[in-house]
Amino acid sequence: MSILRKAPIALVLFIAFVFVQSLFFKFTDSPETQYIFGTLDEWAGGLGLPGIFAPNGIASQYVVGTAELVASLVLLSSLLPRFRAIRPLGALLALGVISGAIFFHLFTPLGVSVLNTDGTRDGGLLFGMACGVWASAAVLLWTDRDRIRSLLPAGAGQRAIA
């Protein structure tokens, strides 16, 4: 098996690892998660969207964690030959979820280097992992571009020649 055939497997496993290991924090309401989503909720409240990141909000840790879990399950299932065709769906969901995470790291008070519960900063570890997931999902989508094109209506995504 060549490295090009193994690379998507490694990318799927990396994305699933990052997402699944974060589920403990999101689903147990850990102090780190309370800080992150609390910071985001305070920021959103200042924009007139209070509660959006609260535990019962539409972008809560539980909603984000569930999306990460679904993306991981779809991607891991796609490692089985009979489910290979669903890999672009998992990659697209992962890309969407992690694009939100990157946006909130860059454009909110959360920042690139997140405050830990002990008062130290993570040095950009969470942000770096998010960037790695984003790049991995983007590469998977690029790898599956022919499969994705085959699902589009004829002529979609092609420039008209006049």
Q: Please answer whether residues 20 and 69 qualify as being in contact, where contact means their C-beta atoms are separated by less than 8 angstroms.
A: yes
Rounded CA-CA distance 151/162 in Å is 25
The region of weakest confidence among 88-92, 99-103, 151-155 is 151-155
pLDDT tens profile 17-41: 999 999 999 999 999 999 999 999 9
Could you tell me what percent of the chain has a pLDDT over 90?
A: 83
pLDDT tens profile 39-51: 999 999 999 999 9
Which residue would you say has higher pLDDT here, 11 or 160? 11
pLDDT tens profile 126-144: 999 999 999 999 999 999 9
In a 10 Å sphere around its CB, with 0-12 CB exposed, 13-18 middle and 19+ buried, how is residue 78 labelled?
buried
Which residue would you say has higher pLDDT here, 149 or 142? 142
**Residue 95: what pLDDT?**
98
**Residue 156: what pLDDT?**
62
Q: How far is the CA of 131 from the CAs of 29, 44, 99, 119, 150, in angstroms?
A: 24, 23, 9, 24, 28
Query: Would the pLDDT of 123 be above 50?
Result: yes
Rounded CA-CA distance 132/141 in Å is 14
Q: What would the mean pLDDT of 110-116 be, rounded to a whole number?
A: 93
